[in-house]
């Protein structure tokens, strides 16, 4: 009993503020979700893949409704292969796994998996105001975005703008190490155009597809 209590307590200490913010306003931000060396390695990997031309224009919608539409979003993405993680991808997934378990425990969620891609917004690209959950496929529960851009200044722009239900906006700059969590179903947000290429690791904690829910 005592051991379980200690373990649960550790969970809470590390994630309690994040989870508290998520419950109170639907989104949360922290600077120390992962240590700087992990952020640097993720940036290095994304940057290499991007230089090698491995990113593809991102689309909107799912299945038959999928289409690329740069009037809505102008980023390029590279999906991680869950079955063939690189060493740094394995490490990041392990951190997300701890968060997944903490969220399930604290909020009685049934998060079962994590889908994730690198994203690059080239200078001037943006993503119009939207929510992350699809109408038809509603598995996405929590959006998790880690920014990996070294030496990002205010003038570089590219903020994540989050709207609260009353319409007030909060801007989060995509600085290396900043980690944002949003409720995928409710929280409206947009990406403002950056002045230089803006890199992130963008993922979603998901519940089971509808047909497998009880």
Check residue 132 for interaction with Mn ion (CB under 5 A). yes
Check residue 125 for interaction with ligand OGA (CB under 6 A). no
In angstroms, rounded to a whole number, what is the distance separating the alpha carbons of residues 26 and 157? 24
What is the nearest approach in angstroms of ligand OGA to the Cβ of residue 1?
42
Query: In terms of DSSP H, where are the helices of 31-173?
Result: 36-51, 87-107
Its sign, for the CA torsion 58, 122, 149, 29, is: negative
Binding-residue total with Mn ion (CB under 5 A): 1
Q: Kindly write out the interface string for residues 172-201 of this chain, putting x where it contacts ligand OGA by CB under 6 A and - elsewhere.
A: -----------------x-x--------x-
Contact in structure between 124 and 197 (CB atoms under 8 Å) = no
Task: Please give the residue whose beta carbon sits closest to ligand OGA in the complex.
Answer: 160
The continuous run of DSSP H or E covering 3 comes out as helix 2-25
Decide whether 80 or 121 has the Cβ nearer to Mn ion: 121
Check residue 75 for interaction with Mn ion (CB under 5 A). no
**Binder of ligand OGA out of 46, 160, 173, 187 (CB under 6 A):** 160
Decide whether 89 or 200 has the Cβ nearer to ligand OGA: 200
What is the nearest approach in angstroms of ligand OGA to the Cβ of residue 179?
11
**Residues near 138 by beta carbon (within 8 Å), at least 6 away in sequence:** 185, 210
In angstroms, rounded to a whole number, what is the distance separating the alpha carbons of residues 184 and 141? 5
Decide whether 132 or 139 has the Cβ nearer to Mn ion: 132
What letter does residue 192 receive in the DSSP assignment? P
In angstroms, rounded to a whole number, what is the distance separating the alpha carbons of residues 41 and 47? 10
Interface contacts to ligand OGA, rule CB under 6 A: 119, 127, 132, 145, 160, 189, 191, 200, 202
């Amino acid at each position: 009993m005592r051991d379980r209590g200690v373990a649960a307590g550790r969970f809470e200490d590390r994630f309690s503020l994040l989870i508290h913010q998520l419950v109170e306003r639907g989104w949360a931000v922290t600077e120390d979700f992962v240590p700087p060396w992990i952020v640097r390695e993720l940036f290095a990997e994304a940057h290499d893949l991007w230089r090698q031309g491995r990113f593809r224009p991102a689309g909107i919608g799912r299945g038959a409704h999928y289409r690329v539409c740069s009037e809505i979003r102008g980023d390029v993405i590279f999906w991680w292969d869950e079955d063939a993680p690189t060493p740094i991808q394995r490490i990041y997934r392990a951190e997300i796994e701890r968060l997944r378990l903490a969220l399930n425990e604290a909020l009685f969620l049934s998060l079962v998996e994590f889908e994730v891609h690198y994203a690059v917004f080239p200078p001037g690209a943006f993503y119009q105001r939207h929510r992350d959950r699809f109408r038809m496929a509603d598995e996405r529960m929590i959006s998790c975005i880690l920014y990996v851009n070294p030496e990002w200044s205010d003038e570089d722009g590219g903020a994540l703008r989050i709207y609260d239900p009353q319409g007030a906006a909060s801007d989060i700059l995509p600085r290396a190490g900043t980690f944002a969590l949003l409720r995928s179903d409710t929280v409206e947000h947009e990406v403002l155009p950056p002045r230089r290429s803006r890199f992130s690791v963008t993922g979603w904690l998901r519940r089971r597809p509808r047909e497998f829910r009880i």
